[in-house]
Structures are given as C-alpha cells and as structure tokens.
Structure 1
Amino acid sequence: MKLVTRWKSCALMLAMCAASAYAHADDLANVRKAGELVVGTEMQFAPFDFLDNGQQAGLNKELFTEIGKELGVKVRFIDLPWPSVLPGLEAHKFDMVGGPLTVTKARMDRYAYTLPIADATDALLKRSGDGSIRQSSDIAGKTVGAGKSTAQYEQLKAWAATLPQPPEIREYVDFNQAYSDLAAGRIVAVANSVTNIAYVAKQRPDTFSVVQPAFGSKVYYAYCMRKDADSKTLLDAFNAALLKISRDGRLAALQKKWLGVAMETPASLPTPNY
C-alpha cells in the first residue's frame, strides 16, 4: 500500500512539474505548439482592420498572413471593442495586439512593441467644404472627436490645451461613430493618424477631407505584446519575420494597397517624443 501511495505521489508531482513547465514555456514555444498566433484587435479601424460584408479586411489580415507563413503557424484574430483590447492582452486572452498602436513613451513602459509598420502622425479630418476649418488651430473653441483610450486622443488633448480657446473633445468607442457624427455636423473634426483619415477621405471624398498640415509629432504604428520574459522570443521571431517582409518588398506592397503609398519604416524602434 505504501509503495502504491508513493508511486501515486511521484506521478502527481511529475504531472505538476510538467504542467508548470508548460505554463512557464515562452510564448513562441506555446504558439508553435498550438499551431496558431492569436491576435486581439478592433475591426473598426480601417484601413488596418475592418469588416467588409461581415468579413475581416485590411492591411492587418494580409500582413499577419505573411507573418504566419514566416513563423509556420496560422493566425486567428479576436475582435473586441478597443478599450477591451489591452486589458485582454494583460489577462493572457491572446498572444499580441494587432491594432496597431501608436508608439508612445507611456506604452513602452508597459508593453513590448514590434518594429514599426506605418506612420501614425496625428492629423484632423473635417467635412469637405467646411471653410471654418482651414488649419488645425481652427478647432479652437469648437467640438471635435477622438477615439476613447487612444494615443490620438491623448495627443489631441495635449495639443488642444495650447490653443487660445481649447476645444471640447468627445470620446468615441470606435472611430466609425466619430466619422458619423462628423458627417452629420455634430462635431467639426476627428483626430486620428494621418494614415487612417487619408484612407477615410479617399473612400468618401465628397464628405471628408484632411486638414493640412498634421498637428502631431512624428510617431509610428506598431503591434505590441506583453512586456515579460516569456514574450521575448515571440517578439524577436515576429520582428525577424517583419524585417524579412519589409526587405523583400511585401510590406511596401501592402502599404501601397491599403494606405495609398509605400512608407519608409525604421529597422529599429525609435524613441517617441511623448
């Protein structure tokens, strides 16, 4: 009886050790074991991620397909409201975030960023023909919109505070709601990256136009992961795949297709200004 009990005890300890080893395996090993990279995103962020007749479309879908080929895994997206995406990453609901996100100092302290994939400098979208908004500073004293929990909102808020009369800033759960209010005249402008709003203006030139020049500091878009030792191998493998895709022209082709122009992106992560 004692031998049986001791054998069961040893078996239990071995099982616990195996489970512990798996729990602490690095993220790249877990991704390869599962055969898929799980990405949290918000599919209301054209041209990166959006729904076309109920199906995912945009730069993210095609770029992550190429990343998956390089890593030898499939890619599965989870669509969430943006305010839920970063908390979902921290709760280990998925492997990484495919927003993409603007690279900021505050976020770099909390998350590990991939290499940049596109320009994310902030600018304003206005209604076409609105003569009251000729330059960015013309939003002083007016009502404008931005995405809730976004870097664009934070940069708009900081910049707006420098105007003679700060505008009222409305926060929106997703940018499509902000664009609808802009088209309806309930706000005079929406702050977002010049990349995003140029795409929106291109799709609806009779309704929207971009205010030039952009008001924001030079920043970039990138994807992010948890900032811990387990994510380091996945981050390194992702960046190696992204560099290969950039150098062989696949990234530029996708940028041109979805953003309208190929953009130079740095081969290392620059330190943001804010």
Structure 2
Amino acid sequence: MSILAGWKCRLVMLALCAASVTAHAEDQLAKVKKAGELVVGTEMQFAPFDFLENGQQAGFNKDLFAEVGKEMGVKVRFIDLPWPSVLPGLEAGKFDMVGGPLTVTKARMERYTYTLPIADATDALLKRANDSAVKQSSDIAGKTVGAGKGSAQLDQLKAYVATLPKPPEIREYVDNNQAYADLAAGRIAAVANSMTNIAYVAKQRPETFAVVQPPFGAKVYFAYCLRKDADSKPLADAFNAALVKMHNDGRLATLQKKWFGVAMDAPTTMPAPNY
C-alpha cells in the first residue's frame, strides 16, 4: 500500500469514527432538541388526563406538557392510540415518551424509565349513584365489574377480587368510556380505575356515578415513562427538572386543582412502589 493510499484509509477511518461518536452523542434529548418537538404517545379516553372535547384534546396532560415544553424550549405533539398500543409504540420508537400516565409498579420500573410522580393513582371503584347494594369495595363479590385492558388498575383489581369469598366476573375494556357506559346502563356493577380518574368522572356526572370509599388498592402514583436505555435518561432528567421547578413554583399544584379538584401528593424523589 502506498503512503497516499495509507493516509486515505486513515482519513476514512477517522471520518467513520467521528460519525459514530456524533451518532452516539445524539441521545433522545438531543434528538428532541434538534427536532424542536417532543412526541408523546397517549390514549385520549382517560379523563381528566387526556380526553377529547368537541374533537380537540383537553385535560391535565395537555396543560402540563405545554409547561414542560416551555421549560425545555420545544413544542409538544401528541399521538392518540388505543391504550394496548401505547407501550408497544414506545418500545418500537414511534414516539419519545408515554403520557398516559402509568402507575409506578416494580415490574414496569424494570422495563421502563419513569419520570417523577405527578398524581395519586390508588385504585378504587366507581358505581352507579343509586346502587345501594355496593356500599364498600367487598360488595362487588359475585357481581360483574370492569377495568381497562392492559392497565395496572386491572392487575390490582384481579389481586383484590382473589381475596373475596366469591370473586366477581371481570370484563376488560379497551375504551374507559365504554366501561362507564356499561356501568350507567346497569350491565356491570362497578368500574375499577385510579381514584383520580373516577373522582373526575363522578364529579362530572354526580347524578349517575359515585365513588366507593375507601379505595381498595395499594398506595401508588402516576408518572410518565420513557424507554429504559441510556439514550433516554437525559430526556427523563430534563423532564424531571421541569417538574421539580413546577412543583416548587406552584404550577403543578395549580394544574392538579384545576383538573382533579384538589392538590395531590407528588414526591420530588421517586418512592419505592408498593407492588
């Protein structure tokens, strides 16, 4: 090999190495900043977090992500999907993070990177307001109840009903609104979901629905999630920094009061999940 050919070979190798370093350095946060856009996968059938109002997105997530976007200097774009498609979409790289939000569980923490909590996600039951047969959670024994397909609330419900003397039949719903419609029509006796979600539904339709007290689930929190890899950590860190700032200046509590009716505990460090 001639000296000139040798130098050409070295230059090619250096260029390839530089390209590799640049690609490696461009983590998910860098990609979001470069695109000027944070892409979020969600299901817009989960009030008060995400829902459609006159065909337009509304809810806590829209307001919170708008604030986070301002802090990060990027726009936010949501992709609306059926819930069973959201986590597979994240893993396939179709968007940067999930805005569900999700309950923080041990199993999910092993698979995904979570942001800091943004609300209480303790599981409870919604019943018909005029149903005197369901006064406490254990009264669903032997009845038919609903929960979201693929949700952590469904997992908690299954664990709870296994403790009852006569476990109820569980119907799984892709669309929470369909579960509430079946409840209102008397086709099921209750719907299991987060206290945040069902309290909002009962508040909107007090003549139709009521919350069964106390909640039956373990104390858990809602948070958003990203892929569990090194490239996603800088994005999670930037998101968490924005959340802590919102916590400290009161913006997070303001949004919680607006959408949940009350400010909720939202730890600024990740608590260990109860299950």
Q: What TM-score range do you get, normalising by the shorter chain?
A: over 0.9
Cα–Cα, structure 1 residues 9 and 51, in superposed 2: closer, same or farther, change >3 Å? farther
Residue 51 of structure 2 is matched in structure 1 by 50
Q: Map residues 140-179 of structure 1 onto 2, 5 A cutoff.
A: 140-179=141-180
CA distance in 2, matches of 1:49, 1:254: 13
Code of the aligned partner of 2:106: K
Match status 1:215 vs 2:229: no
SS of match in other structure, 1:77: strand
Q: Which residue of 2 aligns with 1:67?
A: 68
Aligned to 2:181: 180
Question: What displacement does 1:15 show?
Answer: 7.1
Letter in 1 for 2:29: L
C-alpha separation in 2, matches of 1:20 and 1:92: 21
Secondary structure of the residue that 1:199 maps to in structure 2? helix
Cα RMSD, aligned residues only: 1.9
- Offset, 1:23: 6.3
**Residue 32 (structure 1) aligns with:** 33
Which position in structure 2 is the counterpart of 1:101?
102
Structure 2: any 5+ residue segments left out of the alignment? none
Deviation string for 1:107-129 (max 9, x for gaps)? 00100100000000000000011
Unaligned segments of structure 1, at least 5 residues: none
Query: In the alignment, is residue 86 of structure 1 matched against residue 93 of structure 2?
Result: no
SS of match in other structure, 1:223: strand
CA 17–91 in structure 1, closer or farther in 2 if over 3 Å, else same: farther
Deviation string, structure 1 residues 32-64 (Cα, Å, up to 9, x no partner): 000011100000000000000010000000000
Matches within 5 A, 1:116-135: 116-135=117-136
What do residues 198-218 of structure 1 show as CA deviations (whole Å, max 9, x unaligned)?
A: 000000011000000100010
How far apart are the structure 1 equivalents of 2:14 and 2:103?
45
Amino acid paired to 1:72? G
Aligned partner of 1:112: which letter? T
Task: State how many pairs are aligned.
Answer: 272
| Aligned position for 2:251 | 250
Question: Which sits farther off after the overlay, 17-26 or 166-175?
Answer: 17-26
Amino acid at match of 1:267: T
* TM-score of the pair, normalised by structure 1: 0.94
Cα distance in 1 for partners of 2:182, 2:17 equals: 55
Shift in CA distance, 248/17, structure 1 to aligned 2, threshold 3 Å = same
Q: Equivalents in 2 of 1:204, 1:17: separation in Å?
A: 60
Secondary structure, in 3 states, of the residue corresponding to 1:126?
strand
CA distance in 2, matches of 1:221, 1:101: 5
Q: Tell me what 1:268 maps to.
A: 269
- Superposed displacement of residue 273, structure 1: 1.0
* Alignment correspondent of 1:77: 78
- Looking at structure 2, the residues matched to 236 and 267 of structure 1 have their Cα atoms a distance apart, in angstroms, of 12
TM-score, normalized by length of structure 2? 0.94
Change (3 A) 1:55 1:7: farther
Distance 1:60 1:15 in 2: 42
Equivalent residue number for residue 138 of structure 2? 137
CA distances 1:139-191 after superposition (whole Å, capped 9, x unpaired): 00100000000000000000100000111100000210100100111100000
Q: Which amino acid letter does the alignment assign opposite residue 215 of structure 1?
A: F
> In structure 2, what is the Cα distance between the partners aligned to 1:174 and 1:104?
22
Distance 1:94 1:133, change over 3 A: same
The residue number in structure 1 matching 2:204 is 203
